[in-house]
Chains A and B, each alone.
Chain A
Amino acid sequence: MAKKPDLLPGTLDMLILKTLTRAPLHGYGIALSIKRLSDDVLTVEEGSLYPALQRLLLQGWVKADWKMTETNRRARFYRLTVVGRKQLGIEVSQFEQMIAAIGRVMRAAQEA
């Protein structure tokens, strides 16, 4: 089995928050959504997903409620809070700065 690229460290929280901007989702839904949207490139390991969700809960960036799914099973749905939305903005801008910086370095390295 080919090894999939790891997530950039520190980006998982951002990805989860981003996924939740559209609608509340349960854990499995979040993992699935990230996988689909990235065309199967990014896989969120369950081992990182649930600790990360707990972390976000603790920070108060997401809230969790038990609801019924379409298949009538009880599942825990996470939704973004106002603070979480603000945090997402911060993380996105930081991420973009970082990517831009890395891009500059890589281009410079090519030209040299």
Chain B
Amino acid sequence: MNLLVRFANRLSILFRSRRFRSELDEEMAFHRAEMEKEMIAGGMSPEEAHYAAMRQFGNNEKLRQQSHEVVVLRGETVAQDLRFALRQWAKNSGFAFTSILILSLGMCASISIFGFVDAALIKPLPYPQPDRLAFVTESAAMFPRANISYPDFLDWRKQNKAFSSLDVFRSEGFLFQTPSGAEPIEAARVSDGFFHSLGITPLLGRDFHKGEDLPEAPNTVMLTYATWQNRFGGRPSVVGESVSLSGVPYTIIDVLPATFQFAPRGGAEFWANLHPVDSCSKRRSCHDLDGIGRLKDGISMDAARAEMKGIARQLELQYPTDNRDQGAFVGPLAEIIVQDVRPILLVLLSGAGLLLLIACVNVSSLLLVRSESRKREIAVRSALGASRLRLIRQFTIEGVVLVVAGLVLGVLAADLSMQLLTRLITKDMMDYMPYLAGLGLNLHVWMFTFLISGLSTVLFSITPLLRLPLSHIKKGLVENDRGHAGTAWRRFGANLAAAELAIAVVLLVGAGLLGKSFYRLLRVDIGFEPDHLATVQLAVSDTAYPKDEQEEELGRKIIDRVSRLPGVISAGLTSKLPVSENGNTWWIRVVGHPSNGEHNEVNYREVSTAFFTTLHAKLLRGRYFTEADDASKPRVLIINEALAKKYFPGEDPLGHKIGNNTLTPDSIAEVVGIVSDVRDGSLDSEVWPAIYEPFNQSPDTYYSLVVRTSQSAGSILPALVAAVHQVDRGIGTKDYATMRGKINGSPTAYMHRSAAWLVGGFAALALLLGVVGLYGVIAYSVSGRTREIGVRMALGAQRGSVYSLVMREAGWLTGIGLAIGLLSSVGASLLIRNLLFGVRAWDEATLGAVTVLLALSSLAASFFPARRAASVNPTDALRAE
């Protein structure tokens, strides 16, 4: 209340400030007059009295100011200071422009990277109570996170007490008939409570009924919002209609909300009920499901994990063959979804943070230089009665003006660069990072922005004050303008320059290591020649080709037709393309080798006769498959080198027989060849043991066509697709790509590439800023030492020795910056070693290259001031005294 009254009074005074002044003047004049009168009455002459009163009354203006200050709003003087600050910057527009540019660069980098960090790491899941959601799967020796089998899922669901609901989903692919032909599309199958567990409510229709995931339930499906819009024209009547997927009718029961996203199956257009009627669902050893669970209130993730592990152990005892070593994995869903991008985003955030730091340091040192030249101004102002507080406020306001300008530019640039960066992400990858849809200038990002602005404002208002211990202000009045750069400043400014160089070194080393990792990654041995290879994913309808012989026949026809295309050298089929992922595994057992029932998990691929020759994979021993290896012949297989080394140490694998873990008679096949390791998994993953079966002995309906061409691989793709459709219009085709394009565009390569480029960009800017900072320090020091250099030269110093005088100073700073930077960068590289590939954290070549680069840049930066120093005319320098 009291505050309010005071504020109102102040406001009224502010609005009537002229009147306030005149009233005060009149009041004081009256006071003086009365005083004079009294003195005259006491016997003074009128003139004496007048002067005595004036003397006693004191400085009229100061008095007025003091009375005024009691009442005015602080805002009024702030506005004054602001106007002054703006005038200051306008006068030094070059300086202001440079500082604002540097600052906005640093801000842009850190704000946009923080935008990604926020979207991906801070709130990645758009579900209610996302921290109660767990990712639940089995674990196996080769996979810390494997899949769950359907029978195991049923037991887990029945026995667990930790989850209020436990559900599963799995990948599915459908052939969808469009006017332009059959199109393979991604889909998912889920258990009945899946959407309920996530907390998603139906948009138009209904959720799956309880029990709708049982084998006897009819086929039902939900559409994603985008599918509804794009493929069904957004008709509300779509619910209840029937849609044919891969030739099977499904009833549409719902459209999912537009905001629905589920990163692990980001590309799925249709969400069907589980319908566990296939052979895999009947076997406990066939794992194709992933689980999600919602924790009951009061149950921790750890408690749930412990319970699930216990259940898994129980099942292992119950089913010793199928569930041997099959444990349980329980972890936060959010963590699983962002685990691939987390380390890279954190590295980028640190990089951007360092860049912001170096930008701030740079601007600070510019402010220091400027405050040096404003010493007299400050001294005069304080002599005229500016209070300490007022001076501090002046600097703060100047800092605020800088930061606000940098902030506005930085935020605009960050908004733009976030859009640009997301545009660089391919559609496929975006499907699996749906959380990036939340990217932008949201509340968190604004909060971060204001935090860094606040910190830099504090920094910028403190810096000039460091240089101006206010108690010594009067010295500024006495000190003349000539030379004499304060040694204290030189030391402090020099420290800043060394710090900038050190940060630049850390960023350069980081960029060097990431760049080298990326280079190594793209040149990692993949076991075949990826150039001139074109690939297309094919999907064949089960209903059109129900028998193995028909599928085998179709595969042969496709190869024949495609091979006759001009420019095609050879063509092959594979159930899974190389350089995609480890997975699609089989548990093997070598006939005649001792076994205690462990699961020997190996990659399993079905490939056509010419697959290895098309890839140019090397045959190490034995033979390739031939067209004669068909269903009528004994089963054969080819193994890779890794499998030979792991399961046949010191033995010749050729002629040995391999079967599944229980050696079921129809699974047993003879090893007829060993090929060099063709990399199945991503570029940075390990090469796993693998077995290959002839397509003709176990044909499939979903496989990739791989073609080696004599011309450029990309140009043949349209002809390739046309040729496949000439064989059968009903074959679905997608993912037309060159093998090189697929490898370079793979998520692994993408992550490494973006890390290398972005950190590289940060490092380049940091180097630029660091070198400019060094230049500033050296140039300033030279300008302050003109007199000294003049004296030296007058006393006979050679130009060479002047050069070395200046260069030595620069050399020292560079040396210190380098030493600190190299030491810290080894530490920093250890932190990012998970992102490094084929490079050690202390890679000598990188460290050496960075050292040379920085030394050369510093040399260049100090050469110009040195030349200016050496060209000082001693007579002029001395005459300037």
A: residues with CB less than 8 A from B are: 26-28, 31-32, 45-47, 50-51, 53-55, 57-60, 73-76
Contacts and interface: CB of A to CB of B under 8 A. Distances in A.
Interface stretch (B66-74, B166-174, B530-538, B866-874): B66-74
Contact of B6 (A27, A28, A46, A59): A59
Contacts of A76: 23, 26-27, 30
A50 B24 contact: yes
A58 B70 CA distance: 9
Contacts of A53: 67
A73 B32 CA distance: 13
Contact of B30 (A32, A51, A59, A75): A75
User: Which residue of A28, A45, A73 has the most chain B CB atoms within 10 A of its CB atom?
Assistant: A28
Nearest to B71: A54
Given A26-B30, A46-B31, A54 B6 contact: no
Contacts of B66: 47, 50-51
Nearest to A50: B67
B67 A57 contact: no
A55 B31 contact: no
Contact of A58 (B9, B33, B38, B62): B9
Nearest to B57: A46
A27 B9 contact: no
Question: Which are the 9 A-B pairs with shortest beta-carbon distances?
Answer: A28-B34, A54-B70, A28-B31, A50-B67, A51-B70, A51-B66, A51-B67, A76-B27, A54-B67
Contact of B28 (A46, A57, A59): A46
A46 B63 contact: yes
B277 interface: no
Contacts of A27: 27-28, 30-31
A58 B6 contact: yes
13 contacts: A27-B28, A28-B30, A46-B57, A47-B63, A50-B63, A53-B67, A54-B70, A55-B70, A57-B71, A58-B6, A58-B9, A60-B6, A74-B26
Given A55-B70, A58-B6, A73-B33, A50 B58 contact: no
Interface residues of B, number: 26
A46 B62 CA distance: 11
Interface string B39-72: 0000000000000000011100011001101110
A73 B30 contact: yes
B30 A60 contact: no
Contacts of B520: none
Contacts of B30: 26-28, 73-76
Contact of B27 (A32, A50, A51): A50
A46 B58 contact: yes
Nearest to A53: B67
Contacts of B71: 54, 57-58
A51 B38 CA distance: 23
Interface string B370-381: 000000000000
B36 to A, nearest CB: 11
A42 to B, nearest CB: 15
A31 to B, nearest CB: 8
A55 B28 CA distance: 16
A73 B69 CA distance: 28
B35 interface: yes
Contacts of A74: 26, 30
Interface string B357-396: 0000000000000000000000000000000000000000
Given A31-B31, A76-B23, 10 more contacts: A26-B27, A27-B27, A46-B56, A46-B58, A47-B58, A50-B67, A51-B69, A53-B67, A54-B70, A75-B30
A13 B62 CA distance: 21
A69 B62 CA distance: 27
Given A46-B58, A50-B27, A75-B27, A28 B35 contact: yes
Contacts of B35: 28
Given A47-B63, A54-B70, A54-B71, A60 B5 contact: yes
Given A46-B63, A47-B66, A57 B27 contact: no
Nearest to B34: A28
B50 to A, nearest CB: 16
Nearest to B59: A47
Contacts of B70: 51, 54-55, 58
Contacts of A54: 67, 70-71
Given A46-B57, A74-B26, A57 B9 contact: yes
B10 interface: yes
Nearest to A54: B70
Nearest to A73: B30
